[in-house]
């Protein structure tokens, strides 16, 4: 009797394991085939398959399969530092055809392998003249080919359309078709630092995210901008400008590695220092950017010979950009604050009119991101914190702290300084 029961139990468990295996296999297959979904929440934050992300991109990045100077996969290195995506799609004088589709497939497959994404430049396809059936067919093909690919983040349409004189209506027509075919990925539109709010605003209808590129570092200083401010603080000016253009839609800023103003014949090669890149990055975030793109790492004229052989500016990455991303990337201690909603705390600053700041709350933590423009070194007072908050950590300046009392604290700012403060409502109660 006992042996019969044992055999029966054994058969039962085998059948149960077989059923569980089938269920798990089907579940895994369904998960693998789940369509990617990229949305924008009410705070302007990008949400990728349910996870809030500060998108940090590169225009352009290393090629698929590229290696770092120490032999590591390039994409693995960038992912590890907190990077998110690369601008891909057509480049130079290319148009979308069978060859560029094959190239994009390689990019999509390669980025997805490392948990990264693509921002395909649709260019000519994203300006659809009425009755242009050939272009429409190619646009439909490209969107349908890649809309369910795990390597797709956001579509990119015509670059700098207002400055280039591209009419609005064909872009709106193409945008509507893109969204009809693929409602699960936003469209990002990049403007040059040119034009007025009134001139740029009609293009808002053709995008979900507005970007603006600004490259302040070069000789003479600030030649990329036509505005009077020639300091690197123009990044903040243009972030405010594109936010006004965007009329409530999220904005991302395209910042400098290198650009035509420092690599063309007759120009003097110059890069942002770590302090300059750090300031520009934080100033963009403080003034409301919800994404960042770094431009020019692929410009061979700006690479040392050893980097040119590898196809990307690893020297700049190692000395400047990776240390910046380690502060603001998606693996950084600051990451939760950078995708949080703006705080409603009535924080104010006094003692200077050129200190900019933004307040975020995550759980019991209160973060203040602050930077100062050019000018004199000043001591300022922040007020409006909860009255019981006490000691605050100055992130990335350990072991330095500040002490709040009655909701106020003071600190010093030199020109282009950045300070990031973190106060804990629960554990840092003022006892003074």
Half-sphere exposure of 369 (CA within 13 A, CB side): 26
CA distance 167 to 326: 40
> Does pLDDT of 7 surpass 90?
no
Going by pLDDT thresholds of 50, 70 and 90, the confidence category of residue 382 is very high
pLDDT at 28: 38
> Does pLDDT of 430 surpass 90?
no
- Is residue 160 within 8 Å of 212, Cβ to Cβ? no
The average pLDDT across 402-409 equals 97
Going by pLDDT thresholds of 50, 70 and 90, the confidence category of residue 426 is confident
> Does pLDDT of 27 surpass 90?
no
Going by pLDDT thresholds of 50, 70 and 90, the confidence category of residue 413 is very high
- In b/e form, how buried is each residue of 351-388, taking b as 16+ CB within 10 angstroms? ebebbbbbbbbbeebbbbbbbbbebeebebebeebeee
Q: Distances from the Cα of 323 to the Cαs of 40, 137, 331, 401, in angstroms?
A: 28, 44, 12, 22
CA distance 418 to 263: 29
pLDDT at 427: 62
Q: Distances from the Cα of 429 to the Cαs of 17, 369, 406, in angstroms?
A: 55, 21, 11
Phi, then psi, of 423 in degrees rounded to 5: -115, 140
Residues 6+ apart with CB under 8 A from 373: 231, 233, 236, 354, 355, 356, 415, 416
At 186-233, the pLDDT tens digits run 999 999 999 999 999 999 999 999 999 999 999 999 999 999 999 999
Q: Can you name the residues that pair with 420 across neighbouring β-strands?
A: 369, 395
> Does pLDDT of 18 surpass 70?
no
pLDDT at 11: 42
Going by pLDDT thresholds of 50, 70 and 90, the confidence category of residue 1 is very low
Share of the chain above pLDDT 70, in %: 91
> Does pLDDT of 97 surpass 90?
yes
pLDDT at 429: 55
> Does pLDDT of 304 surpass 80?
yes
Query: Mean pLDDT, the chain, as a whole number?
Result: 92
DSSP track, 212-238: EE----SSSTTTT--SS--STTHHHHH
Residues 6+ apart with CB under 8 A from 15: none
The average pLDDT across 243-255 equals 98
At 128-139, the pLDDT tens digits run 999 999 999 999
Q: Based on C-alpha coordinates, what's the Rg of the chain?
A: 25
CA distance 100 to 373: 43
Share of the chain above pLDDT 90, in %: 89
pLDDT at 34: 56
CA distance 406 to 249: 37
Q: Distances from the Cα of 349 to the Cαs of 237, 340, 410, in angstroms?
A: 19, 21, 9
> Does pLDDT of 150 surpass 90?
yes
pTM equals 0.91
Structural domains of the chain, ranges and CATH numbers in brackets: 38-338 (3.20.20.80), 348-424 (2.60.40.1180)
> Does pLDDT of 17 surpass 80?
no
CA distance 324 to 334: 12
DSSP track, 114-163: TT-EEEEE-GGGGS--TT-HHHHHHHHHHHHHHTT-TTB--EE-SSSHHH
CB neighbour class for 88 (10 Å; exposed up to 12, middle 13-18, buried from 19) = buried
Going by pLDDT thresholds of 50, 70 and 90, the confidence category of residue 3 is very low
């Amino acid at each position: 009797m006992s042996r019969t029961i044992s055999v029966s139990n054994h058969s039962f468990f085998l059948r149960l394991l077989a059923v569980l295996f089938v269920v798990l296999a089907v579940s895994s297959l369904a998960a693998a085939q789940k369509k990617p979904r990229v949305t924008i929440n009410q705070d302007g934050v990008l949400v990728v398959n349910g996870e809030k992300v500060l998108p940090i991109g590169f225009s352009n990045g290393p090629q698929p399969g590229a290696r770092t100077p120490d032999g590591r996969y390039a994409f693995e290195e960038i992912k590890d530092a907190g990077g998110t995506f690369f601008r891909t799609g057509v480049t130079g004088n290319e148009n979308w055809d069978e060859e560029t589709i094959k190239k994009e497939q390689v990019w999509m497959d390669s980025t997805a392998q490392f948990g990264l994404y693509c921002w395909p430049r649709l260019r000519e396809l994203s300006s659809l003249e009425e009755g242009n059936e050939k272009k429409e067919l190619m646009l439909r093909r490209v969107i349908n080919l890649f809309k369910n690919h795990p390597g797709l983040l956001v579509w990119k349409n015509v670059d700098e359309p207002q400055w280039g004189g591209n009419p609005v209506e064909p872009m709106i027509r193409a945008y509507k078709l893109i969204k009809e075919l693929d409602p699960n990925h936003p469209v990002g539109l990049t403007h040059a630092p040119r034009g007025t709010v009134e001139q740029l605003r009609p293009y808002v209808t053709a995008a979900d995210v507005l970007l603006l590129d600004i490259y302040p570092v070069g000789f003479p200083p600030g030649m990329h901008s036509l505005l009077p401010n020639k300091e690197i603080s123009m990044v903040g000016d243009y972030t405010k400008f594109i936010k006004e253009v965007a009329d409530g839609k999220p904005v991302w800023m395209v910042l400098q590695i290198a650009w035509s103003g420092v690599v063309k014949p007759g120009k003097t090669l110059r890069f942002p220092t770590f302090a300059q890149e750090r300031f520009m990055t934080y100033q963009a975030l403080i003034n409301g950017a919800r994404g960042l793109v770094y431009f020019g790492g692929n410009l061979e004229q700006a690479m040392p010979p050893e980097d040119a052989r590898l196809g990307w500016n690893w020297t700049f990455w190692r000395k400047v950009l990776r240390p910046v991303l380690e502060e603001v990337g998606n693996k950084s201690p600051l990451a939760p604050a950078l995708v949080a909603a703006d705080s409603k705390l009535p924080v104010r600053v006094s003692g200077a009119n050129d200190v900019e700041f933004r307040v975020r709350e995550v759980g019991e933590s209160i973060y203040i991101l602050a930077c100062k423009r050019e000018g004199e070194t000043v001591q300022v007072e922040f007020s409006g914190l909860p009255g019981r908050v006490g000691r605050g950590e100055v992130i990335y300046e350990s072991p330095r702290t500040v002490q709040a009392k009655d909701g106020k604290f003071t600190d010093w700012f030199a020109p282009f300084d950045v300070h990031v403060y973190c106060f804990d409502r629960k554990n840092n109660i003022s006892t003074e």
